[in-house]
Amino acid sequence: MSVFEITGKVCLVTGASRGIGAAVARGMGANGANVAVHYRSGRTEAELVAADVEQSGGTALLIQGDIAEPGTVERLVAETVSRFGRLDILINNAGDQISRVNIADITDELFDRHVAVNIRPTFAACRAAVRQFRKQGTGGNIINVSSIAARTGGRD
């Protein structure tokens, strides 16, 4: 089996309505995966991604949710498993730069927002996925995506 053999695998991609997440979801679908396409507010864009997944041979599920809200990523995993019967691949892609602020000027509120959007959901999704992988007894794969902004704070 090739490392690219994902036909029939079940993949949840957070932040899949645009950018990197959309490209990943489309690629998974083009390789025969069942793809849960997560979006927060871009339903129209997510529907286009899901249509592309289906057109290229995969099966898609649209799932909406704000990952900053407690319990959302656990629900995303549960809905994926409910629809497809399992989870094989979690791709944590959703996140937001929120704003560009020098560290000396970051308020506690802004820091808490960054944690709520970019850190806590990634951890919670990994935890939920690992629990599901163990329940299945087959293991799985987790890929955490970030952008250059994670290293530079969005500055050049």
pTM given for the model: 0.91
Nearest CA-CA partner of 10 in 93, 78, 97, 98: 78
Asked whether residue 155 is assigned to any structural domain, the reply reads: no
Domain contains 141: yes
Residue 44 placed within a domain:
yes
| Assigned domain for 129 exists | yes
Domain that holds residue 144: 10-149
CA distance 45 to 60: 14
Which ranges of the chain would DSSP assign to H, the alpha helix? 19-30, 43-55, 72-84, 108-114, 120-136, 149-152
In a domain, 5, yes or no: no
Does the residue 32 lie in any domain? yes
Q: How do residues 86-101 score in pLDDT, each as one tens digit? A: 999 999 999 888 888 8
The CATH number given to whatever domain includes residue 51 is 3.40.50.720
Cα separation of 152 and 8, whole Å?
Answer: 37
In a domain, 114, yes or no: yes
Q: Which of 150, 143, 144 is nearest to 98 (CA)?
A: 150
pLDDT at res. 49: 98
pLDDT tens digits along 95-150: 888 888 888 888 999 989 988 999 899 999 999 999 999 999 989 999 999 877 66
Q: Which residue has the tokens 């990952």?
A: 67
As for how many domains the chain has, the answer is 1
Q: What is the pLDDT of residue 56?
A: 94
Label residue 1 by pLDDT band (50, 70, 90): very low
Q: What is the DSSP letter of 39?
A: E
What integer is the mean pLDDT of 63-90? 97
Q: pLDDT band at 2, cuts 50/70/90?
A: low
CA dihedral sign of residues 24, 141, 56, 60 = negative
Is 47 among the domain residues? Answer: yes
